Amino acid sequence: MNSKLKLPMPKFLQTLRSWWLSSQAKFFQLISPLQAWREGSRLLSAKFLGGLLVVMLATLPFLENAQTGVIGAAVAIAWFLLWLSDRRDEQDQSVPIWTAIHTPLIAYWAIALIATLISPVRVAAADGMVKLTLYMLAFVSMSRLMRLGWRSIFIGAYLGSALVASAYGVQQWYLGAPELATWTDPTSETAGVTRVYSFLGNPNLFAGYLMPALPLGAIAAIHWRGWGLKALGIITAIFGAFCITQTQSRGGLMGLAAASLTLVLLLVYWWGKRLPKWTFPAVFGGMAGAIAIGTILVPTLRKRVFSIFGTDDSSNAFRVNVWQSVFNMIRAKPILGIGPGNKAFNQIYPLYQRSGYSALGTYSVPLEITVETGIVGVICYGWLVFTVFRQGLLGLNRLRSDRDSSGLWIIAAIATLVGMLVHGLVDTVWYRPQVQLLWWLAIAIITSFYITGTKAEIKEEEVLQGDNTGH
């Protein structure tokens, strides 16, 4: 009998509970005017937030980083006001706000915040933390609006601006373009070859910006119905892929090959039930052979690709020396790193650099993440990437089972992420807003197909039953 008696709550817990309930009541009372204002305000609307995101994606190759940052800050403020003015009791539960991808995302953000607070260059790291937060809020905003029908609008905004940037790149390839920096080893056989850079001023950055052009453009040509939209997709895909080859960016060429191979293999998988069994190995072998033959037959491309291997090329030797200094930085602060951002790196790296090998970054995204947030951070970011691909493949299988052609966008997103990851192994243009925001665009595409709860369990059971019956 005594075991069923209810013990009184300790006084301090009663006080804490009372404070929490009163705080919640005051908070919702405080934002209730904001919720009422939203009903008649254009500034507190999905259309306003979506318009800002469209402007940001459409102007990426044309604006300075600081100008893009201002738009990003406006997006963050608009999202925050929209989130505050949400009516919690009226939210559509079929449109999940929190997904499996958000958990490692918030975990990494928290690790980066701790790394900032304990950084030896706290002010510089705080600048990087602000940028990281703006990127993540842009992702959250895109993910939210894509579930409300903005997916094709965002993709179209990118493809339109990529087409303009690619057209200028083709013009530079045809008419020639002056080098704005020493991008090629002057003793190399490829010295003097035009490396296009369009409006971005750097061929490696231009290659990173165009990495989504082929996957998104190809899927747009397949999925969109209007012939004008199909033409936009296919022309952007062709021009984008061509311009990446003409940037002569070795990381970009590696990324393009990886993205192309992933795109084709996933498309074969998507249509696999209607294709012969030998299609998959034939396409895989054909793609690998086409890349190899193209590399051998095009002299400039062959020399550039072969220069990837070894340290005879001065840029390769430079990277190796930078990496050795970076390893020393990691050994000095292995757990949580020095804090996020290029400003923090620029203040710490000179203490470890070898004479004559100054650098603005690590020239490798995995190394950069490790330097900034330590081993804990790189493990957490690996968790994020793993979760993104897992959710992407789950969504792809579900939509393939449902014969829902919108699942083709997941194929484009996965191919884009693979290309960017491969490019990021040997370069850090991934941290520039022109590339970073497209990384989050691809992840937002995958997140926008997320389903949760009993609905997800039913879909998974249907897929398994379908596989067992051969349908």
Phi, psi (rounded to 5 degrees) for 19 = -65, -40
Tell me if 173 is assigned to some domain. Answer: yes
Tell me if 63 is assigned to some domain. Answer: no
Instruction: Determine the pLDDT at residue 2.
Output: 47
Q: Provide the CB-side half-sphere exposure for 139 (13 A, CA).
A: 24
Q: Where are the alpha helices (DSSP H) in 271-359?
A: 279-297, 299-306, 314-332, 342-348
Instruction: Determine the pLDDT at residue 1.
Output: 45
pTM: 0.84
How does pLDDT run across 70-124, given as a tens digit for each residue?
999 999 999 988 877 665 444 444 455 678 899 999 999 999 999 999 999 999 9
Tell me if 131 is assigned to some domain. Answer: yes
Tell me if 87 is assigned to some domain. Answer: no
pLDDT of 450 strictly over 70 = yes
Range of 339's domain?
101-457
Tell me if 61 is assigned to some domain. Answer: no
Rg (CA), the chain: 25
Tell me if 45 is assigned to some domain. Answer: no
Q: How confident is the model at residue 468 (pLDDT cuts 50, 70, 90)?
A: very low
Instruction: Determine the pLDDT at residue 354.
Output: 84
* Cα separation, 195 vs 172, whole angstroms: 8
Mean pLDDT in residue range 402-409: 92
* Cα separation, 364 vs 422, whole angstroms: 10
pLDDT of 170 strictly over 50 = yes
Percent of the chain scored above 70 by pLDDT? 74
The overall average pLDDT reported for the chain is 83
How does pLDDT run across 339-398, given as a tens digit for each residue?
999 999 999 999 998 877 788 889 999 999 999 999 999 999 999 999 999 999 999 999
Q: Where are the alpha helices (DSSP H) in 333-364?
A: 342-348
Tell me if 214 is assigned to some domain. Answer: yes
Residue 381: how many other CB atoms lie within 10 Å: 22
Tell me if 11 is assigned to some domain. Answer: no
Give how many domains the chain has, as a whole number: 1
